[in-house]
Amino acid sequence: MTARRPLMSLLAIGVLTLTAACGEGGSSGTAAPATPAPAATQGADAAACEPVAGEQLVVLDDDQGLQTVDNIIPAVNAEAAAADPNLVPLLDEVSATLDTPTLIELNSAVDVQRQTSTQVAEAYLAETGLSTQDAVGEGRTVVVGAGNFSESATLAELYAGTLRAAGYDASTQAIGNRETYEPALRAGELTVVPEYVGTLTEFLNKGANGADAPAVASSDLDATVTALTELGTGAGLVFGTPSQAQDQNAFAVTTAFAEEYGVATLSELAETCGGVVLGGPPECPERPFCQPGLEDTYGLEVAEFVSLDAGGPLTKTALQQGEIAVGLVFSSDAALAG
């Protein structure tokens, strides 16, 4: 799979570029959590956990909030929203149907099964009943923007399809990365874009307050949405309700590894394993959301780090082949489909 977003540490801390490789979606990890685990050697007396090969991958729960939230959220041009009180509530109907397992399945239908985003969206809208709406948008034109990666394209088609069902003349437009589509959204060239709470918060924060501005996004969804709403006021943007679906940094193991060692959370991994082989992007050993976060927040002992990619095919293949025990992935990756 192609990487979807540059890591937020790269995107929001310094360079405002897209995350996870070649697209612009969410990301996470702008700051370390406020209350790190008290013991940095939880698993020091335990035996090392060797990698276990297997095709199926599973994300370990980030139970102490290392990563920044990156829930999907409709970002809407403020003037368009003010002129049409039905617009945001319709987009919120889409948000209400989405959680991370659903987003994984949508991504799998496109990235693995090779359906188009339009086909996948049409089927989903029919299945969820979103294709049946009251005709409240007659005579209104809406342009839904999308980043240059498949997840964003599918989400844009979900927004556009719901709006068409309500009578809008709704179209989608792929417009590149956040640096390109965010100004177009502000200017009203785009009406709405599916966005990511934490990543957009830091994008706007750095844009408004400078590249060295302290991070305001965190693992607290409510607090991050509050910060995003405040920043949006100055940018001419308003936001719908965030969905439960997230596309954020996450740490995966094979299901065979999880079953062999009896772990489902990162805390359990640290308690169980006296050492693990970790794989991820080259910058992982220095980034607070990656190796240092695992060590400081969870007390995980990293016996060896293998430099691979940011949630891409190298990391996933290394997990599946048993070359690494734990790998940095994205929480909505199609490879996580059951």
pLDDT tens-digit readout, 238-283: 999 999 999 999 999 999 999 999 999 999 999 999 999 999 999 9
| Separation of alpha carbons 111 and 101, rounded Å | 15
Whether residue 332 is contained in a domain is answered as: yes
182 and 272 fall within a common domain: no
162 and 35 fall within a common domain: no
Q: Residues in the chain, how many?
A: 338
pLDDT score at 105 = 98
10 Å CB burial of residue 251 (0-12, 13-18, 19+) is buried
pLDDT score at 41 = 43
Residue where one domain finishes, among candidates 195, 217, 239: 239
194 and 327 fall within a common domain: no
Question: 6 pLDDT exceeds 50?
Answer: no
101 and 202 fall within a common domain: yes
- 263 φψ region: left (φ > 0), alpha (ψ -120 to 50), beta (else): beta
Domain of residue 94 covers 72-239
Q: How many domains does the chain have?
A: 2
85 and 187 fall within a common domain: yes
Whether residue 9 is contained in a domain is answered as: no
322 and 232 fall within a common domain: no
Whether residue 3 is contained in a domain is answered as: no
Residue where one domain finishes, among candidates 239, 273, 301: 239
Question: 18 pLDDT exceeds 50?
Answer: no
pTM: 0.88
Token pair of 197, please? Answer: 């709470």
Whether residue 244 is contained in a domain is answered as: no
| Closest to 54 in 3D by CA, of 319, 335, 314 | 319
CATH number at residue 227: 3.10.105
127 and 230 fall within a common domain: yes
178 and 267 fall within a common domain: no
Residue where one domain finishes, among candidates 192, 208, 239: 239
3-class secondary-structure state, position 235? helix
Whether residue 6 is contained in a domain is answered as: no
Whether residue 11 is contained in a domain is answered as: no
Model confidence band, residue 338 (pLDDT cutoffs 50, 70, 90): confident
63 and 78 fall within a common domain: no
Whether residue 296 is contained in a domain is answered as: yes
Whether residue 128 is contained in a domain is answered as: yes
Indicate the average pLDDT of the chain.
90
Model confidence band, residue 193 (pLDDT cutoffs 50, 70, 90): very high
Q: Which residue has the tokens 């599918």?
A: 154
Answer yes or no: are the C-beta atoms of 328 and 280 closer than 8 Å. yes
